[in-house]
Amino acid sequence: MKAQILPDTQSPPSDAPRRISELKLFLFALSSAAVVANAYYIHPLITPVAEEFGVSGATVGLAPALNQIALALGILLLLPLGDRINNRKLITVFVIGQFLAMLAMALSGSFLIFAAASSVLGFFTIAPYLLPAYVTQRVNPARIGHVTGIMTAGVTFGILGSRVGGGLLGHYFGWRSAYWVGVACMALLVVLLPSIMERKQDEKPANSEPPRYSELLRSLWPIFKSLPEVPLGGLIQALSFGLFLALWIAIGLHLPRNGYGVDTVGYLAIIAIVNVLGSPYVGRFADRIGPERTRIYFCLIQLAGVCLLPFAGNNLWLLVIAVILNSIGGASVDICSKTIMFSRAPEIRTRLMTIYIVIMFIGGGISSWLGAATYEYSGWSGISIMAIGYALSIMALSLWGLRVGRARA
């Protein structure tokens, strides 16, 4: 029998069994942090990497840009397999792929090899986006926002933590040391994740069979059309994540050119990482008042942060406030968008995540290069204007999303 293509939007019963312990939830979030961190060590290290390989800021920006675009391609081609193949086996393969790519980056002797390995790394960075779908299928639907907040906190911790670790390691031990730490972390996860994930795929009805791979890919377009809030959330997150990446790449170029070491980028990330502590509470707030309304509130916080950027180019403390507000707002917008998505069609959550993440990382890839190029040619004022334009667009789309949500209610 052919797999169902269009989703059944009814959620499972509210008394669905709770099968993920708090310890495992913490380990899954921590694993997501370690895996996603690999792609972002480059941000505080972008200046020393460019200097060692003898390339410009705009050229070195291709490495994180290609990483994000390859990640979007990997999500499109690999993540839908989560609705067919045992997630434990898939994640093990993906982490091994990351291990090999990180090893190549640590040993690279030219920028071409470094950028190619970065692209392979992005292609296999699937675990942080498969794990939330895996986890939310195993908790009570009333806790989806809270659990999504915890998993998103893990990803945010990894993205910001990579700047802390990368900046400090790069300053004291050279930029390659950050990638050797990443290699060690991936070796550990190859052992840890299979040991805490279920060995058997979830039971399916006796009269159903897993969808074929071609059916999984073909089903994405009908799902895209039938659930407009999912691609809308992906577009909002593409802009929000793109803003986040462009800003941090610009900071990685701006601070060293103004007398600060790469370790300063790491210290700045330590301060910004405080928003991770609030992520579970954002999820609970979204569960209580609705994720569409909650998203609007945090868009305002993000907008307030970027409006400080034009005045923060030569004021480190003002830059700290701007980064914190942008980090809090951006991470919370992501939690709200995922909460909306995970409340739809639980049986196809990995395909919903595929649509969302592909859109998100296309935006992230374009913005990674655009941020480096904008700073290279227009300086801090150019990045500030770009960031404000992004934040205003995010607010406009979120207001539209609130209208869409009310229309579906």
Show the low-confidence residues of the chain (pLDDT under 50).
1-17, 203, 205-206
User: Is 12 inside any structural domain?
Assistant: no
Per the structure, the count of domains in the chain is: 1
Number of CB atoms found within 10 A of residue 315's CB? 12
Number of CB atoms found within 10 A of residue 88's CB? 17
Nearest to 240 by CA among 327, 339, 152: 327
Q: What is the pLDDT of residue 206?
A: 46
User: Is 17 inside any structural domain?
Assistant: no
Q: Tell me the pLDDT tens digit for each residue of 249-279.
A: 888 788 878 777 766 766 676 766 666 666 6
Q: What is the pLDDT of residue 167?
A: 81
User: Is 229 inside any structural domain?
Assistant: yes
User: Is 11 inside any structural domain?
Assistant: no
User: Is 3 inside any structural domain?
Assistant: no
d(CA 392, CA 255): 26
User: Is 376 inside any structural domain?
Assistant: yes
Q: What's the CA dihedral at 179, 58, 240, 11 to 10 degrees?
A: -60
Q: What is the pLDDT of residue 54?
A: 85
User: Is 209 inside any structural domain?
Assistant: no
Q: What is the pLDDT of residue 256?
A: 79
CATH code, domain carrying 34: 1.20.1250.20
CA quadruple 41, 377, 375, 122: dihedral positive or negative?
A: negative
Q: What is the pLDDT of residue 121?
A: 94
* Identity at 127, one-letter amino acid code: A
> Is 167:264 a contact under the CB 8 Å cutoff?
yes
Nearest to 102 by CA among 171, 33, 163, 35: 35
Q: What is the pTM of this model?
A: 0.69
Q: Tell me the pLDDT tens digit for each residue of 17-39.
A: 456 777 888 899 999 999 999 98
Range of the domain at 325: 22-199+217-408
Q: Tell me the pLDDT tens digit for each residue of 188-221.
A: 999 999 888 877 655 454 455 667 788 888 888 8
d(CA 161, CA 306): 21
Q: What is the pLDDT of residue 18?
A: 52
Residue 407: both structure tokens together: 């229309």
User: Is 109 inside any structural domain?
Assistant: yes
> Is 301:329 a contact under the CB 8 Å cutoff?
yes
